[in-house]
Amino acid sequence: MNNFVEALRTFFKVALPYFNSEERWAARSLLTAIIAAELGIVAVAVAVIQWNARFFNALEAKNWTAFKAELIVFCFITAGAIVAGASKYYFGQRLQIGWRRWLTENYVKVWMADGRHYRVRAIEPNVDNIHLRIASDVYIFIQRTHELTTGLLGSVVALASFAYILWGLSATTPLPLLGTNWQFPGYLIVIAIAYASIGTFFAHHIGWRLITLNFNQQRYESDFRFAIVRAADHSEPIALMRGEPVERRELGHRFRNLVGNWSALVRRQVRLEAFVAGYGHISTVFPILVVSPAYLSGAITLGTLVQAHLAFQRVEGAFAFCISSYAKLAEWKALTDRLAQYQEAMVHVDQSSLEPAGKIETTASRNGDVAANDVTVRLPSGIAVAELAKLDVAPGGRALITGSSGSGKSSFFRALTGLWPNGSGTIALPQGREILAMPQRPYFPLGTLRDALTYPVPADTVPNAEIGEVLEAVGLTHFAAHLDEIKDWNVVLSGGEQQRVAFARALLRRPGVLLFDEPVSTLSDASARDLYTMLLSRLPDTIVLAIDRRGVLSDLHAQTVEMTAPSETGRPAVLAPA
């Protein structure tokens, strides 16, 4: 019982926000229309059963007039079935489209903001493949929710409607066995529910393991898709280094996990399917066996026999809803858990700056400078990865961050941007001035070269003349004719050209603070110095902090800070003159 309540609580946590959102009236209206259509379908089913009784009685009596009249009635029932079925499908699809759009947009808005998509990988490493949860799991979850809720609603209404019919038939249909009439009020309902209960018990006993298997299957499918897409995105280095055997081995390992779990899923599913098939086959005959003694004794007509048979099947089928839907229920439960796990991970990311890691305090600087005092950057576990005692760079100042690999230079940059708030100490930043951080590997969005140059702002907000001037400044004029071509630019451009694009972005943005991580690592010394000097001259008021392990740019900065890993010295890095 506790598991059931917890499953419902998890489901409502995922599902209810849409129906309480700014689109709640449209969502609730569509939901109401779906419920009305489902009620219409049940009403049609009730009419069909009542029609069957009259129709077969007319056949048994060889009443041609009644036979023709029932055929006309059946045409009207068919028209009602068409309207109800089409309405249910239309309104159901409209609801699924709106729900998926809202849920996807909100998941992406939360995930792709404030660096959560980056920090969640370190804070919640067990929450795998979030991008695929948003792209795939949301869609299947909504589909399964629609199928199961409409099916459950139909079953509940059908149970009530057809139980009423069976109650009446129980009063007029005797139960002669061994020369004794065992008839009692509602006995057909009791037999139908008992039969369905036995089936549900065995279905659950066979299929409850499907929940875990479905959860793992979604994970293994996502892992394999991620790995194969990643290999395709890095095809050049893999080919150059002849790394195909390693990639094949890794892909094979992930696919074997997928197939192994899939095989276990199939084995368990076969048992459930075999039981459901046998149960369903017996269900077509069992109601007739229950009421046939009354028919053979002449106590009821053929029409009553058919009506009792169909009503019994409907009641039993409604009560045995879990049997026919058990596989979908297991998949739905797994998907609900994955989406709830994602939501909890996003909350945990925002709370990760609490103890034991703590939170770095960020304030507005008085003089427009960048300052850091006793800053320690920590992992969520509390382990220090970077330390800096003091840093103060005035507007227009240039500071070089140096240190061995692993000393925390890039981690300190992440703290400056607010991407990684875990730790302690104080960082002061210019108020109202943009902070632009350039990572070691420039990122190229999907789209044109123009989009790549102006990233992270829309390309149509930057004048063509300004783009042309910047291309000339960074030495990429030979690409001026290709600005509006859509290509995989991170493959087309060489490493040096990609770093020139990073310089172009900085020139176009003209930020108040520029954080450059290894800006010239793929350029020759002469080209690196010329390009960097040009950047500094064009951004005289920008505070520039750069990481340069090669030392090519050392004399172009007024200040240098050398950082050492906290585990090596136990002392924070201090500012030193250039």
Task: Report the DSSP beta bridge partners of residue 573.
Answer: 388
Of 513, 522, 525, whose CA–CA distance to 399 is shortest?
A: 513
Instruction: Tell me how far apart the alpha carbons of residues 148 and 329 are, in angstroms, rounded to a whole number.
Output: 8
Which domains are assigned to the chain?
Answer: 1-353 (1.20.1560.10), 361-562 (3.40.50.300)
pLDDT per position in the chain (578 positions), as tens? 567 788 888 999 999 999 999 999 999 999 999 999 999 998 898 888 888 888 888 888 888 888 889 899 999 999 999 999 999 999 999 999 999 999 999 999 999 888 888 888 878 888 888 888 898 899 999 999 999 999 888 888 887 777 777 787 787 778 777 767 777 788 888 888 888 888 888 888 887 788 888 888 888 888 888 888 888 777 767 876 777 888 888 889 999 999 999 999 898 889 888 888 888 788 888 888 888 887 787 777 887 788 777 777 777 777 777 777 777 888 888 889 999 999 999 988 877 655 556 788 888 887 888 888 888 888 877 788 888 888 888 899 999 988 877 788 888 888 888 888 888 889 998 888 888 888 888 888 878 999 989 988 888 888 999 999 999 999 999 998 999 998 888 888 888 899 999 999 999 999 999 998 888 888 888 888 999 999 999 999 999 999 888 788 888 888 888 887 775 444 444 434 33
Instruction: Tell me how far apart the alpha carbons of residues 532 and 551 are, in angstroms, rounded to a whole number.
Output: 13
Instruction: Tell me how far apart the alpha carbons of residues 534 and 175 are, in angstroms, rounded to a whole number.
Output: 99
Task: Report the DSSP beta bridge partners of residue 544.
Answer: 398, 514
551: left (phi over 0), alpha (psi -120 to 50) or beta: left
Residue with tokens 């549900």: 200
Helices 525-538 and 464-474, packing angle to 10 deg: 140
Q: Report cis status (omega within 30 of 0) of the bond before 356.
A: yes
Bridge-based pairing of strands 398-403 and 543-547 is parallel
426: helix, strand or coil: strand
Instruction: Tell me how far apart the alpha carbons of residues 541 and 271 are, in angstroms, rounded to a whole number.
Output: 72
| Residue 29: per-residue pLDDT | 95
| Residue 353: per-residue pLDDT | 56
Tokens of 449: 């070269």
Of 372, 465, 486, whose CA–CA distance to 424 is shortest?
A: 372
Instruction: Tell me how far apart the alpha carbons of residues 293 and 311 are, in angstroms, rounded to a whole number.
Output: 17
| Residue 459: per-residue pLDDT | 87
| Residue 307: per-residue pLDDT | 78
Residue 186 near residue 367 (C-beta atoms within 8 A): no
Tokens of 51: 């029609």
pTM over 0.95: no
Instruction: Tell me how far apart the alpha carbons of residues 475 and 463 are, in angstroms, rounded to a whole number.
Output: 19
Tokens of 243: 């790394």
Bridge-based pairing of strands 384-393 and 370-378 is antiparallel
CA distances from 207 to 147, 276, 454 (A): 19, 11, 54
Of 433, 437, 310, whose CA–CA distance to 367 is shortest?
A: 433
Instruction: Tell me how far apart the alpha carbons of residues 372 and 378 are, in angstroms, rounded to a whole number.
Output: 15
Amino acid at the residue 66: A
Neighbours of 390 (CB within 10 A): 15
CA distances from 356 to 359, 382, 428, 551, 565 (A): 9, 5, 23, 36, 20
Strand order in the sheet with 575-577: 435-438, 513-517, 543-547, 398-403, 559-563, 575-577
Runs of H (alpha helix) within 208-320: 210-233, 235-240, 244-283, 286-296, 302-319
